[in-house]
């Protein structure tokens, strides 16, 4: 999956910086820890006497008006002091080999990011993962950071609305009124949340993925077939997080991927995930049959040293499951899944990922790379949803989850795919059961196959639902899914669609802070505060542009009507008048109205002559 970026005519390329329209970047510190600076975005309301609305902000320093960005230096080292204090071995980096960059000729080689970082690795037995710390009862700085980040404006909100409890149906999730660092520790220790945070990614602004936290979204990026510059690749990342992507997966293949990855890692404030089997396959010339443990292991070390925060590992695609896919309508649709299935069948051997899983754990643990256990057998069509192959693999992922935990690793589980609405809930229920509530991370699911070109929508429906039911992170789908490479607009559309799904899920789960923004926007709408309405929306630029299409003048941004109904027909205007009238009514008049209501109720309950029996 790659994004196409149009190269500007003058040949220069820089990344998108500056605040989102109507917002400003703020940093806040948890009590007693002035050294921990947690970023938020504040939307300032212009037309009302209301406090700013504080929203979760994964966009990093790029949206900070006061930070200068220099890609060659990389981002500020937020985590460096915390990591340094844990005294890991600083090791010689694995030497870069020609195959790491796809044997690219010297004249086509993209230089690596010059930002210098030490490479660290935990000694055997030394605690390194957030899971290990959590299990040992230790609250890390990452946990403190995450707790403060997740709380948003909850304290302010609760102070202003005492006793107001968000309703919702959480399906067993239990989001507390306030997130404390100790709560984060407990969730990580139970394996119910992860904080993907490679010790070689000091630029990371820590975040949590778990059902008792805000629902997160992931965006996929990757290099183009044409030669990409480093800036182009970093821009894809910056663009995705600007609109709200919480993590980014780099699915690049081909040339220069090692060096380009160094630019991405050094300039990413969000966790970066990869699928190491893609690079391993490149190293053996693209033939799955030639893959082996040595080249895979070497790739894991290579990427872990660079700082990748989570790896998709398709260790659940086992030899005996391959025949289960033979009669599917769409077979195996996961790239990693099909590669491993090909390998298993060609060698007639059990998957080396499955057989060497212990060793994979040891490598990943040493850097705190989290597992994203891949669903290589996910359904690629409505017809194949919830079939034997899919669920056999999920059971194996449950088995592997427990091994990974016993090895001290953090784990999340990937999920489907194409699933009709009535088959969605069983997916998350089974996943929670089989995998001991390890975070679920799904692609959609798409609720029908018949809308290529609109699969952000077919999947947004499924994503909202499965997010509500307990999925912790939703992998976006763009309008180009099944058809081509997403461009900038597609990526933005995909991210915004998934922000909608995640937010709808937070609301339905009863997340205590979720509705604050809806309410602020609705008040702005009712008061005709157009600027506030735009700025509170997920995409202020588009909201404003759409309004401009019909009512372009600045005066219309304070107009007490809109283009849909015009001034005479405006229901909101009429209601505002009504509200004033009701408020001004005498107690007598109010009583009279109440009396009429009671009478009507009585009439209704009596049934009587109006009732028509049904045949």
Residues 322 and 140: their CA atoms lie apart, in Å, by 42
Contacts of 337 (CB under 8 A, 6+ apart): 314, 317, 374, 375, 376, 377, 378
Closer to a copy of itself by CB, 119 or 505: give it.
505
Closer to a copy of itself by CB, 200 or 334: give it.
334
- For residue 249 the two structure tokens come to 């997966």
Closer to a copy of itself by CB, 38 or 507: give it.
507
- The answer to whether the Cα torsion of 169, 183, 205, 39 is positive or negative is positive
Alpha helices in 410-554 (DSSP H): 424-434, 455-469, 488-509, 515-526, 530-536, 540-550
Measured from the CB of residue 110, what is the shortest distance to a copy of itself in angstroms? 20
Contacts of 181 (CB under 8 A, 6+ apart): 30, 139, 143, 144, 147
Closer to a copy of itself by CB, 69 or 464: give it.
464
**Residue 597 φ/ψ region, left for φ over 0, alpha for ψ in the -120 to 50 degree band, beta for the rest:** alpha
219 beta partners: 248
Angstrom CA distances, 327 to 204, 383, 385, 439, stand at: 44, 11, 13, 30
Q: Does residue 445 contact residue 419 with C-beta atoms inside 8 Å?
A: yes
Q: Which helix (H) or strand (E) holds 278?
A: helix 276-283
Closer to a copy of itself by CB, 112 or 479: give it.
479
Closer to a copy of itself by CB, 263 or 468: give it.
468
Please give the backbone phi and psi of residue 354, each rounded to the nearest 5 degrees, phi first: -70, -45
Other C-beta atoms lying within 10 Å of the C-beta of residue 592: 12
Measured from the CB of residue 329, what is the shortest distance to a copy of itself in angstroms? 5
Closer to a copy of itself by CB, 29 or 224: give it.
224
Closer to a copy of itself by CB, 441 or 530: give it.
530
Nearest Cα to Cα of residue 472 among 141, 215, 217: 215
Measured from the CB of residue 225, what is the shortest distance to a copy of itself in angstroms? 7
Q: Which residue has the tokens 């588009």?
A: 542
Measured from the CB of residue 36, what is the shortest distance to a copy of itself in angstroms? 26
Measured from the CB of residue 608, what is the shortest distance to a copy of itself in angstroms? 10
Closer to a copy of itself by CB, 78 or 189: give it.
189
Measured from the CB of residue 203, what is the shortest distance to a copy of itself in angstroms? 29
Measured from the CB of residue 209, what is the shortest distance to a copy of itself in angstroms? 18
**What is the DSSP secondary structure assignment for residue 284, as one 8-state letter?**
T
Q: Which helix (H) or strand (E) holds 274?
A: strand 272-274
Angle in degrees, CA 201, 339, 225, rounded to 5: 65
Measured from the CB of residue 249, what is the shortest distance to a copy of itself in angstroms? 14
Closer to a copy of itself by CB, 558 or 594: give it.
594
Measured from the CB of residue 605, what is the shortest distance to a copy of itself in angstroms? 10
Q: Looking at the chain, how many residues does it have?
A: 615
How many DSSP H helices and E strands does the chain contain? 21, 15
Q: Sort 286 into a burial class: Cβ within 10 Å, 0-12 / 13-18 / 19+.
A: exposed
Closer to a copy of itself by CB, 149 or 192: give it.
192
Measured from the CB of residue 77, what is the shortest distance to a copy of itself in angstroms? 33
Peptide bond before 417: cis, by omega within 30 degrees of 0? yes
Alpha helices in 510-586 (DSSP H): 515-526, 530-536, 540-550, 571-584
Measured from the CB of residue 442, what is the shortest distance to a copy of itself in angstroms? 15
Angstrom CA distances, 580 to 41, 172, 521, 574, 594, stand at: 35, 43, 21, 10, 18
Residues 271 and 131: their CA atoms lie apart, in Å, by 16
Closer to a copy of itself by CB, 341 or 366: give it.
341
Closer to a copy of itself by CB, 195 or 340: give it.
340
Closer to a copy of itself by CB, 182 or 350: give it.
350
Measured from the CB of residue 428, what is the shortest distance to a copy of itself in angstroms? 14
Measured from the CB of residue 493, what is the shortest distance to a copy of itself in angstroms? 8
24 beta partners: 42
Radius of gyration of the chain (CA): 26
Closer to a copy of itself by CB, 88 or 371: give it.
371
Closer to a copy of itself by CB, 301 or 319: give it.
319
Nearest Cα to Cα of residue 251 among 507, 476, 528: 476
* Angle subtended by helix axes 276-283 and 293-306, to nearest 10: 120
Measured from the CB of residue 602, what is the shortest distance to a copy of itself in angstroms? 12
Peptide bond before 445: cis, by omega within 30 degrees of 0? yes
Residue 540 CA from chain centroid, whole number: 20
Q: Does residue 400 contact residue 315 with C-beta atoms inside 8 Å?
A: yes
Measured from the CB of residue 364, what is the shortest distance to a copy of itself in angstroms? 16
Measured from the CB of residue 78, what is the shortest distance to a copy of itself in angstroms? 28
């Amino acid at each position: 999956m790659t994004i196409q970026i149009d190269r500007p005519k003058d040949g220069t390329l820089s990344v998108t910086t500056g605040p989102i329209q109507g917002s400003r970047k703020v940093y806040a510190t948890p009590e007693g820890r002035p050294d921990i600076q947690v970023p938020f975005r504040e939307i300032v309301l212009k037309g009302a006497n209301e406090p700013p609305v504080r929203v979760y902000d994964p966009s990093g320093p790029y949206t900070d008006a006061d930070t200068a960005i220099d890609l060659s230096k990389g981002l500020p080292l937020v985590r460096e002091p915390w990591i340094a204090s844990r005294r890991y071995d600083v090791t010689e980096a694995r030497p870069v080999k020609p195959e790491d960059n796809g044997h690219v000729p010297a004249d086509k080689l993209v230089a690596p990011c010059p930002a210098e970082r030490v490479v660290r690795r935990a000694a055997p037995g030394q605690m390194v993962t957030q899971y290990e710390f959590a299990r040992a009862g230790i609250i890390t700085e990452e946990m403190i950071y995450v707790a403060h980040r997740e709380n948003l404006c909850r304290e302010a909100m609760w102070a202003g609305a005492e006793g107001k409890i968000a309703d919702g149906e959480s399906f067993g999730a239990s989001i507390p009124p306030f997130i404390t660092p100790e709560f984060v520790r407990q969730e990580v220790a139970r394996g119910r949340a992860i904080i993907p945070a490679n010790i070689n990614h000091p630029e990371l602004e820590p975040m949590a993925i778990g059902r008792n936290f805000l629902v997160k979204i992931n965006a996929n990026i990757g290099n183009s077939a044409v030669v990409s510059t480093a800036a182009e690749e970093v821009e894809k990342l910056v663009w995705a997080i600007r609109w709200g992507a919480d993590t980014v997966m780099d699915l690049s293949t081909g040339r220069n991927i090692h060096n380009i990855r160094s630019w991405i890692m050094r300039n990413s404030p969000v966790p970066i995930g990869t699928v190491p089997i893609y690079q391993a396959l490149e190293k053996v010339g693209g033939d799955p049959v030639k893959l082996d443990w040595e080249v895979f292991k070497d790739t894991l070390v290579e990427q872990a040293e660079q700082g990748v925060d989570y790896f998709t590992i398709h260790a659940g695609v086992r030899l005996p499951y391959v025949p289960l896919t033979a009669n599917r309508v769409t077979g195996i649709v996961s790239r990693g899944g099909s590669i491993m299935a090909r390998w298993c069948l060609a060698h007639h051997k059990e998957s080396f990922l499955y057989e060497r899983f212990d060793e994979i754990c040891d490598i990943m643990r040493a850097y705190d790379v989290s597992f994203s256990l891949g669903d290589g057998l996910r359904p690629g069509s409505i017809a194949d949803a919830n079939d034997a192959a899919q669920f056999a693999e999920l059971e194996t992922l449950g088995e592997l989850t427990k091994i990974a935990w016993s090895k001290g690793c953090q784990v999340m589980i990937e999920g489907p795919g194409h699933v009709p609405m009535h088959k969605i809930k069983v997916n998350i229920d089974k996943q929670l059961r089989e995998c001991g509530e390890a975070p679920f991370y799904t692609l959609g699911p798409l609720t029908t196959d018949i809308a290529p070109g609109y699969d952000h929508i077919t999947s947004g429906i499924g994503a909202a639902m499965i997010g509500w039911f307990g999925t912790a992170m939703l992998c976006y789908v763009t309008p180009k899914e099944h058809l081509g490479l997403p461009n900038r607009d597609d990526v933005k559309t995909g991210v915004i669609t998934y922000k909608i799904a995640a937010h709808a899920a937070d609301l339905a789960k009863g997340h205590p802070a979720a509705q604050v923004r809806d309410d602020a926007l609705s008040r702005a709408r009712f008061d005709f505060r157009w600027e506030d309405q735009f700025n509170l929306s997920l995409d202020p630029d588009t909201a404003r542009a759409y309004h401009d299409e019909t009512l372009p003048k600045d005066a219309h941004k304070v107009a007490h009507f809109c283009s849909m109904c015009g001034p005479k027909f405006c229901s909101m205007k009429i209601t505002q008048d009504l509200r004033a009238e009701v408020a001004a009514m005498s107690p007598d008049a109010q009583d009279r109205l109440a009396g009429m209501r009671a009478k009507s109720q009585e009439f209704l309950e009596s049934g009587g002559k109006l009732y028509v029996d049904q045949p």
